[in-house]
Amino acid sequence: MSNIPPQNPYQQPLMYATPLPPTYPPQKDQSLAIIALIMGILSVIIGWACCMFIPLSITAVITGLLGMQKASNGTGEGYGMAVTGVILGGGTMLLYGAFLAYIYFEAQGGINNFNNY
């Protein structure tokens, strides 16, 4: 005979270990890249209104460069969005700046021609 006592079929089951919640890898931050992309798009679209291209473009370039640096270090994501924001912000700054300079110098030339008559 065996020394194991008979089991009661109505006995409470043994305590089970509670399952641990799943662990996910930490999410990488891409907020700077998103801000750079949005500011770059806005600088192109509404940059002509009241010279808003200046703050929008500067914000797009700065946050884009910071987002690119963060993505290169491995602590962030969105490298492509950051590059796009830098390109849009810098291009807008150059184009609108050149356009305003053209208008300014044409106006100066018109004033000089007016004074010669």
* Structure confidence by residue, pLDDT tens digits, 51-98: 888 999 999 999 999 999 999 998 889 999 999 999 999 999 999 989
pTM: 0.72
Q: Are 82 and 34 in contact (CB under 8 A)?
A: no
Q: Quote the pLDDT of residue 116.
A: 58
Sequence-distant (6+) residues with CB within 8 A of 50 are: none
* Structure confidence by residue, pLDDT tens digits, 100-110: 899 998 888 77
Is pLDDT above 80 for 18? Answer: no
Q: Quote the pLDDT of residue 20.
A: 83
**Where do the domains of the chain lie?**
31-110
